[in-house]
Amino acid sequence: MRVARSTTSSIGSVHAPDDRYFQPPSGSNVTIVPDSIVAAIFAALGIWLGLTINRKKAPSLAPPPSFAVDSQRLAETGITPRELEILGLMAAGLSNREIAERLFVSENTVKTHSSRLFDKLGARRRTQAVQLAKQARLIP
């Protein structure tokens, strides 16, 4: 059986090729809803779902309230407050360029601070520096 296209969406009744309706059994509670209302509902649902799924949460760079920097280790390593700030931003996953933009300094300045951090922590890479700093309780 081939079903012809209708101008209304209906639940329970369909147009036959010869334009007769197949009616649901009497006493059933079936309503006929126009296509435009169904389309509007699906569009609204799609927009809401898309916005919900793609919503970006702002990264929080503030340390959790229970974290306290180990000041003794900080003094032992000789890390400056600016280097510690850059280390925290590196731990948050920011690139040198993003750190430079956020701190209003040049990218070369960030590279210099990073290089000094690596020397002070005994690290060769950013990931290693972040790992060592977390173990030393310098960053959360």
Q: Given this model, what pLDDT does residue 30 score?
A: 63
Q: Given this model, what pLDDT does residue 39 score?
A: 86
Q: How many CB atoms lie within 10 A of CB 91?
A: 19
Dist. CA 135–CA 70, nearest whole Å: 10
Nearest to 88 by CA among 63, 66, 68: 63
User: Where do the domains of the chain lie, and which CATH numbers do they carry?
Assistant: 8-54 (no CATH), 71-135 (1.10.10.10)
Q: How many CB atoms lie within 10 A of CB 100?
A: 19
Q: Given this model, what pLDDT does residue 34 score?
A: 73
Mean pLDDT for back-to-back runs of 10 residues, the chain (140 residues): 49 52 62 77 88 72 71 88 93 93 94 94 92 90
The dihedral formed by the CA atoms of 94, 97, 103 and 106, expressed in degrees to the nearest 10? 150
pTM for the full model?
A: 0.53
